Structure 1
Amino acid sequence: MAVSREKESLARVLAHEGGYSNHPKDPGGATMRGVTQRAYDGYRKAQGQASRPVRSISTDELNEIYDRQYWDAVKGDLLPAGVDYVLFDGAVNSGPGRSIMWLQQALRPAYTGRIDGVLGMGTLAALKADTNNDALIDRICNARMAFLKHLGTFATFGNGWSARVREVRAIGQAWATGQVPQSASFYDGGQAKAFVEDANAAPSTAPADLATGAGTGGLGLSGYLYDLQNQLSPLSYTSEWIGKVVVVVALASALLAMGGLGYRWYANRKAKHLAAALGTTAGA
């Protein structure tokens, strides 16, 4: 890339991140201008310095953390205009590996490798083959939103995240198409970290197995009662009573079995959508 957009991208990321935050539901915990206390502790330790509150982070420290841990981590200077910023913002919000996974998902089918969050030669080759960066940014942001919507914290931070991604999309596409991008704004909640550890769990198929098994067993019982009815047919009153029981058991069992099969379909469908959003399915 001939010109680095790191400085301009950082200005917009910092606008999205705001100042200090420590929301009880934010998995990032105490955060200052997008840098978490954990990230700051790690940085200070690597420098041979004692830890201190992230509120005290200096501008030089902030710039170095963003440069090394986020911009360089997504190889920003190797990425096309707009795509560099979009991946950078995603890396700050959800980690570099997750942001790269969104790129890999968006590059299908040109990218045929694993969705592994590693920006290697295969990903770069697919990126080079994709000449429509405007549309690519759309797909990256769509993958990001699909991921966010499957987090348990979306109910709390979803509005802020949605507004942030909407603006990231617009800024990235402006860069990709040679236009002057807008400034970025702060959206409350949009600065909260969005990590895969907070993803919703896939629904269990155990209730489906239980219902299907019970329904199958009930159908077997109704068959036994039907045979008993035939044996007692000379006793008209008893035979009639058993016949009614057979009908009730058969209907209830059929409904139970069908419900179990229906719930299994629903659970498998939800699990498939979740895996696709998290980039954990083969070929996702």
Structure 2
Amino acid sequence: MAATREKESLAKVLVHEGGYVNHPSDPGGPTNKGVTQRVYDAYRKGKSLPKRSVKNITMDEVGEIYDRQYWDAVKGDLLPAGVDYVVFDGGVNSGPGRSIMWLQQALRPVYTGAIDGVMGIGTIAALKAINNNDALIDRICDARMNFLRHLGTFPTFGKGWTARVAEVRAIGKAWATGETPRAASFADGGQAKALVEDAKAAPSTAPADAAIGAGGGGLGVSGTLQGLQEQLSPLSYASEWITRIVVILALISALLLFGGAAYRWYTSRKAKRLAEALGATPA
């Protein structure tokens, strides 16, 4: 890739990140130019410097943090033009490991390794085997958007994230095809950190299991009553009421049984989609 790609990519990422922000719903907490207070504290500690507010971060510090903790972490210098920027921007917003997972998902079926967020030999080899980076960028951004939609913070920041990813997609594809990319623009909310810790919980199968259990038990009871009804058949009045009870119980039990099975299928399907969005299963 071009030697200047990191600086060009960083310039666009910084536009997306904006300045200082401390939104109560942003899991990143106090953040300035995309650098969270936690990351800044760790950086200053590593240099034996005292803590200070991320509001006061210098551009030299910003450049060093982005270079070491994001660009180098995603091995930006080994990635093709356009793909480097797309993976870099995703790493800043959701962590390098998460962005690499989107790349690995997008490389299927050429990439057959684990979706583990590690830019290893297998991922690099699969990337070199791809001859259409324009389409690859589309798949990376699709995986990223699928992840974002499964976050509990999406209702708050989804509009900004969607605008950011759309622009990242356009800029990345322009670079991939040798065109001049458009200027980056800031979308409010797009700078909020999108972290897996905020993923929606998988739906519980407990209600389905309870319904199936109750339905099966009800059918067993109706069978017992049916046997009792046969014993009391000479007593026509009692037999008639037991028949009604048996029919009603059987209908309710069947509804519980089939309804529970349907809900279990629904929850299993949602759980699978969530796992795919989070990279827990092959995409």
TM-score (norm 2): 0.99
SS where residue 249 of structure 1 aligns? helix
In the alignment, does 2:255 pair up with 1:263?
no
Is residue 205–residue 264 contact of structure 1 (8 Å, CA) maintained in 2? yes
Aligned to 1:6: 6
Is residue 203–residue 271 contact of structure 2 (8 Å, CA) maintained in 1? yes
Q: Return closer, same or farther for 1:269/1:215 CA change in 2, 3 Å cut-off.
A: same
Find the aligned partners of 2:54 and 2:2 in 1 and give their Cα distance.
34
In the alignment, does 2:68 pair up with 1:65?
no
Aligned to 1:52: 52
Find the aligned partners of 2:63 and 2:32 in 1 and give their Cα distance.
13
Find the aligned partners of 2:226 and 2:263 in 1 and give their Cα distance.
29
What's the CA shift for 1:2?
4.2
Find the aligned partners of 2:13 and 2:2 in 1 and give their Cα distance.
22
Q: CA RMSD in A?
A: 0.7
In the alignment, does 2:154 pair up with 1:164?
no
Correspondence list, 1:52-201, <5 A: 52-201=52-201
Aligned to 2:16: 16
What's the CA shift for 1:176?
0.4
Per-residue CA deviations over 1:32-91 (Å, capped at 9, x if unaligned) read 010000000000000110010000000100100011111111111110010000000000
Amino acid at match of 1:184: A
Per-residue CA deviations over 1:213-248 (Å, capped at 9, x if unaligned) read 000000001111111111111111110111000000
Is residue 161–residue 189 contact of structure 1 (8 Å, CA) maintained in 2? yes
Aligned to 2:272: 272
Find the aligned partners of 2:95 and 2:241 in 1 and give their Cα distance.
67
Amino acid at match of 1:186: F
Aligned length: 283
Aligned to 1:220: 220
Find the aligned partners of 1:218 and 1:85 in 2 and give their Cα distance.
60
Find the aligned partners of 1:190 and 1:65 in 2 and give their Cα distance.
20
Find the aligned partners of 1:2 and 1:93 in 2 and give their Cα distance.
23
Identity of aligned residues (%): 74
In the alignment, does 2:248 pair up with 1:253?
no
What's the CA shift for 1:99?
0.3
Is residue 28–residue 36 contact of structure 1 (8 Å, CA) maintained in 2? yes
Find the aligned partners of 1:21 and 1:2 in 2 and give their Cα distance.
32
What's the CA shift for 1:4?
3.5
Find the aligned partners of 2:98 and 2:231 in 1 and give their Cα distance.
67
Find the aligned partners of 1:2 and 1:18 in 2 and give their Cα distance.
26
What's the CA shift for 1:155?
0.7
Is residue 2–residue 81 contact of structure 2 (8 Å, CA) maintained in 1? no
Is residue 4–residue 77 contact of structure 1 (8 Å, CA) maintained in 2? no
SS where residue 181 of structure 1 aligns? coil
Is residue 94–residue 195 contact of structure 2 (8 Å, CA) maintained in 1? yes
Find the aligned partners of 1:4 and 1:223 in 2 and give their Cα distance.
78
Find the aligned partners of 1:143 and 1:262 in 2 and give their Cα distance.
28
SS where residue 266 of structure 1 aligns? helix
Find the aligned partners of 1:247 and 1:164 in 2 and give their Cα distance.
59
Is residue 36–residue 54 contact of structure 1 (8 Å, CA) maintained in 2? yes
Find the aligned partners of 2:2 and 2:271 in 1 and give their Cα distance.
43
